[in-house]
Every structure is written in C-alpha cells, then in structure tokens.
Amino acid sequence: MSKIRVLDLSFNELKSEFARLNVDTYGSKIMLPKGSFYIVKIDSIASVSANVIKQQMLSNGGDAAVSKGSIDGSRKKTDCIIMGTEKQYQELIKKLRLQPWGLSEVSDKIKESLSRFNSKVSSLDLGNSKMSFGNRTRIMGIVNITPDSFSDGGRYLDSKSAIDQVYRLVDQGADIIDIGGESSRPGSSNVRVDEELKRVIPVIKKVRKRVKVPISIDTRKSEVAREALESGVDIVNDISSFGHDPKMAKVLAEYEAPVVLMHIKGTPKTMQRAPEYRNVISDIYEYFEKKISLAVARGIRRDKIIIDPGIGFGKRVEDNIEIVKRLREFKSLGRPIMIGLSRKSFIGDILKKSIDGRLYGSLGSYACAIINGADILRVHDVSETRDLVRVIDRIRR
C-alpha cells in the first residue's frame, strides 16, 4: 500500500520537492502559488471595505474573518483577517485595485507586506560595506561598561577589562560588538552625558584600531552617539527610538549611520510598572510603522534601519513569550530583526533560576527566535550561541 503523510514545507522546500518529482516547469509555475498559504491581518478597516475583501476572497476560494457587527451594520470599523494561498492573494490584489473606498491603496499595502514577508535576504548599509541577512544569523556581542547592568554590571567597568572583553567576543565569533555605558535594566536611572562618554569613548577608540567587525553604541543620547560615530562606531542602538532625545535622528541622518529602533513601553525606570497591551504584537507593529516613518521623514534611509521588539522592556512574561512565538510577523516591515533574550528575567521566571543559571534557557529561546525569523541575536555568551547558530542555520537556511 502507498505511504501517505502530511508535508510541513516552506515555499522553497515545496519547490525542491517539485524538482525531485521532476514536475513540468510550466506546471510548477502554476501550482507553487497554490501551495503557499498566508494569513494577513488588517487592523481597523471600514466595515464596507472589509466586506468587499471577504466577498472577493470567497469568490477566489479563500476567505476573510470580520466582526459580526460589520456584517449587520452595527460597527463602522473592524479588524479583518484574510486567509488564502499566494494565487488567491494575486487575484484579490487585482480585484481590489478596481474598487472604491480606498481599496486600491489597501491592495498595494497587501502586496508590499507579502513581498517583504517573503524576502529571503535583506541587507544593512554600513557605508563602506553591507551586511546581509537571511543566509545566516548574525551575533551581536554585549559589552556593558556599567556598574549596574542586570547581568554583567561591574565586570567591565574599567577600560582594560572592557577592551579585553571586546577582543574576546570577536575571537569567539561575534559579527557585531555592542558597547554601552548606561544600564537599561528595570528601575535604572539616567547617567550623565559626561559620565557615559568617559566610560565608552576610550574603549571605542582603542578597539576600533584592531577590530574589523562593525561596532554598535548602545545609547539614547545624541551627544554620545555623535562622539561614538566620530570615534569609529558603525551603528547606533537607541532603545528609546528617538523618544529620549529628539536630536538623535538628526545626528544619525548627518552621519548616514544605521540605527536599531527598539520598542519600549515607558522608560527603563518605569517600564515594568504593570505594563498592559491591547494586543502586544499589533501594538509593537504599529509602533515600528510610526518610528520607521519618522526616521525616514528625518533623513534616515530605510535600508539603515534594524528593528528590535524589546524583550523585557515594558513586557510581561506572557508578552515576551508571545513576541518570540510570533516574531516572523515583523518580517512584513521589511527590515532585519534583532532580538535580545540573553539571561532575561522571563527565562528566569520559567526556569526558576538566577541570572547565572540561564544559559541553556537563553539558548533555547534563541533557537526559537532563529526559527521564527530573527536576523541578529544580541547575546552575552557568544561562543555558546555561535555553536547553536551554526547548527540551526545549517538546518533551516
């Protein structure tokens, strides 16, 4: 009797199966779009538009879920969840372009989101070079020159120990080094500009002479970012996404510097005071749309932007877990995704272990993040993470 099994394949894996089966080239071109299924959500669309989308998808063999109030006329707006194959979306996009009520614009946005979601390789413009993503996961090694960071505070407070740690992480395989002079742990307070500069600039100037990998400065302050860029830094990692210092965007545009835009709810001092979300993924996605638009409006090119959903920055345990599970949804923004899970408190909550006992929990969460679309892992334990990345990339990428 013939063996029968259900296949769990990505588009590229299905394409490979067709090749093994020696499917006719023309037939493959017709069938492959039928084998790629997507769920697309539109937040708060006019009910009349949502109902048109639903009817069009039904006519194509797909479907769309809307609020029952949008059908009986009791609601003017609704969220809309569309379900269909790539082929069905192609037909939907064509039909919506002919419709009123702004549906032509919706059509373009659906097409753009699907295109970005399916993009296998993106890149970051570093000025003199480009870093590609998609073929392998990148590792960002953390060096905190602070007395009070939650994990390694005080270990690298003097310049020599910080410099030695940078060299150590590069030797272990870090693709990027992230240097910070201000703690962002929950409850932490601001550090004066002069103190932050005193901590980070001597280290940056020293290691820049020897280190060839990109260096990132973890700062919310435009003055620190400017001095760091003058000293040879390649990337600015602003956990506030311009919220702390409105002058930051101007500095980044002036230097044409790449930037990490991170989601945070509140400030490090207040962020863990009972954070709540309407929908954590939708809320963060909307935040990034606004911040990316702001960055572009202020002269920062889109290909200079990395996004970070901000694990632990104004998030509950269940929020952090949901973000890792659904990380791939941020692919529709079309930018590399960075995530920092290393030794975070939600891992301690799951394992009931202190910071020093969270290595394996960190590696497990990073494995899930890679599978779900992470491009850059921000870590303390570079050597161990490098082994993890090599194995998972070999299997997945």
Q: Could you give the residue range(s) of every CATH 3.20.20.20 domain in the chain?
A: 123-396
Average confidence (pLDDT) over 157-182: 94
Predicted confidence (pLDDT) at residue 395 exceeds the cutoff of 70: yes
Q: Where in the chain is the domain with CATH 3.30.1370?
A: 36-118
The residues with which 199 forms a beta bridge, in sequence order, are none
Per residue in 110-166, pLDDT (tens digit) is 999 999 998 877 788 888 788 999 889 999 999 999 876 655 656 777 899 999 999
Q: Note the helical H segments in the chain.
A: 11-21, 25-31, 47-60, 68-71, 86-96, 103-118, 159-172, 193-208, 222-230, 248-255, 280-297, 317-325, 345-351, 359-371, 382-396
Going by pLDDT thresholds of 50, 70 and 90, the confidence category of residue 190 is confident
Q: What is the CATH class of 123-396?
A: alpha beta
Tokens representing 113 are 């989101």
Q: What is the pLDDT of residue 90?
A: 95
CB-based contact 125:301 (threshold 8 Å): yes
Q: Residue 204 pLDDT more than 60? A: yes
Q: Within 10 Å of residue 55's Cβ, how many Cβ atoms? A: 12
- What pLDDT, on the 0 to 100 scale, is given for residue 36? 87
Topology of domain 36-118 in CATH is Ribosomal Protein S8; Chain: A, domain 1 (3.30.1370)
Q: How does pLDDT run across 308-329, given as a tens digit for each residue?
A: 999 999 999 999 999 999 999 9
Q: What does the pLDDT look like over 67-94, one tens digit per residue?
A: 998 888 788 999 999 999 999 999 999 9
The answer to whether residue 213 scores a pLDDT higher than 80 is yes
pLDDT in tens, 262-282: 999 988 878 787 788 989 999
pLDDT digit string (tens) for 277-299?
989 999 999 999 999 999 999 99
Q: What was the pLDDT predicted at 149?
A: 64
Instruction: Provide the pLDDT for residue 94.
Output: 95
Which sequence positions are flagged as catalytic? 344, 378
Provide the CA 153 distance to its chain's centre, in angstroms: 26
User: 235-263, pLDDT tens digit by residue?
Assistant: 999 999 999 999 999 999 999 999 999 99
Please indicate, yes or no, whether the overall pTM of this predicted structure exceeds 0.75: yes
For residue 359, give the 3-state DSSP assignment. Answer: helix
Q: Which two tokens mark 165?
A: 């740690």
